[in-house]
């Protein structure tokens, strides 16, 4: 029997939302991750950083841009202890400057994911998957990285039919 894990990073609070800033009680990526967990019966694991990003959206994205430019690997609070038990791993994140937040690089580089099926999903406000699928293939050497799912962040809560269709196709 295949075991499924849904690993995600999500931003609550101030987010860019259809051309303006909106305060979100739950991040868009978290909403989609919970849908996938519900559909698959998989386990959820939220990646969180030791440092706190600025609450102000623009200050946060400036910091994210500097991390990307510098190749930083922000420290994460925890790692999944039992990664070897999973065959299929959904990896979710917002598109920050054309790829995943650098904390996802920190998390994923901690593991040998060879032999795993990797299913990426990304929330964004129009930038799609960016270069994240290419980056995942570099990080997850030996894994089968599938075509990702791009979800418009402002439509995350209404994206269940699109998510279900993708999950069925990818499993």
Q: DSSP label at 125? A: S
> What is the Cα–Cα distance from 78 to 19, expressed in whole angstroms?
34
Secondary structure (3-state) at 134: helix
Mean pLDDT of successive 10-residue segments in the chain (171 residues)?
89 93 96 98 97 96 97 98 95 97 98 97 96 97 97 97 96 81
Return the pLDDT at 69. 98
Q: Which of 121, 120, 133 lies closest to 159 in space, CA to CA? A: 121
> What is the Cα–Cα distance from 75 to 99, expressed in whole angstroms?
18
Q: DSSP label at 157? A: G
8 Å CB contact between 154 and 17: yes
Domains in the chain with CATH codes: 4-170 (3.40.50.360)
> What is the Cα–Cα distance from 60 to 42, expressed in whole angstroms?
30
Q: What is the pTM of this model?
A: 0.96
Return the pLDDT at 167. 97
């Amino acid at each position: 029997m295949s075991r499924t894990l849904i690993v995600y990073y999500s931003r609550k609070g101030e987010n860019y939302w259809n051309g303006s800033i909106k305060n979100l009680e739950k991040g868009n990526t978290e909403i989609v991750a919970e849908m996938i967990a519900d559909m698959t019966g998989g386990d959820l694991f939220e990646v969180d950083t030791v440092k706190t990003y600025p609450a102000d959206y623009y200050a946060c994205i400036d910091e994210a841009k500097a991390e990307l430019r510098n190749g930083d690997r922000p420290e994460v609070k925890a790692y999944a202890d039992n990664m070897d038990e999973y065959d299929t791993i959904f990896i979710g994140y917002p598109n920050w400057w054309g790829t995943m937040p650098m904390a996802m690089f920190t998390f994923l580089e901690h593991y040998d994911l060879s032999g795993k099926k990797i299913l990426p999903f990304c929330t964004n406000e129009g930038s799609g998957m960016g270069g994240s699928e290419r980056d995942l293939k570099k990080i997850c050497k030996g894994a089968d990285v599938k075509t990702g799912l791009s979800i418009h962040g402002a439509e995350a809560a209404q994206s269940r039919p699109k998510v279900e269709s993708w999950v069925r196709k990818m499993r």
